[in-house]
Amino acid sequence: MRIERGWLDSATQTLSPNFNHRPAAETVSLLVIHNISLPPGRFGTGCIEDFFCNQLDVGADPYFEDIQDLQVSAHLLIARDGRITQFVNFDERAWHAGQSRFEHRSNCNDFSIGIELEGTDDQPYTDAQYQSLVECTAALMQAYPAITFDRIAGHSDIAPGRKTDPGEAFDWKRYREALDRG
């Protein structure tokens, strides 16, 4: 995998309108791992893509009424089969972290890249997802050298008490060991 001008060459591009420019001269220096499933606990519905593109059919599930006014995105989504979709150029600010803080800095969207894994806090992620995540992370660390091993966090780490993802099902040890080997 390679990143060229802020785009991952192996990702499908589905452009989200939910982004804006990073602050001037901001360095991308944090990678945030998330999870999402829509409706909650269901996979492969296509609803995540619709949600990030403001095209969610609110009548398709009662839960969607609760999130219909949200405008959010991530840079990447890694599906259960390992397929990668990119919604926002890495050089732009995706709206994934919300109210957040990392190493005494708030507004993590300003300096981070967000990767969503299709999943839930309590269901194991797939081998294909870990493989894609490790390959993406390696490419991101090469393209954005300020992202180091100690600057990779879960959403729960930057928004404690508010967020729980990627959850206890995410195997941080497996992920970090695979990065070390890579």
Residues with a catalytic annotation lie at 116
Q: Residues with Cβ < 8 Å from 52, sequence gap 6 or more?
A: 14, 16, 18, 72, 73, 74, 77, 87
Exposed, middle or buried by CB within 10 Å (0-12, 13-18, 19+), for 101? Answer: middle
- How many residues are there in the chain? 182
Q: Can you spell out the DSSP letters for 90-105? A: TTEEES-S-S-EETTE
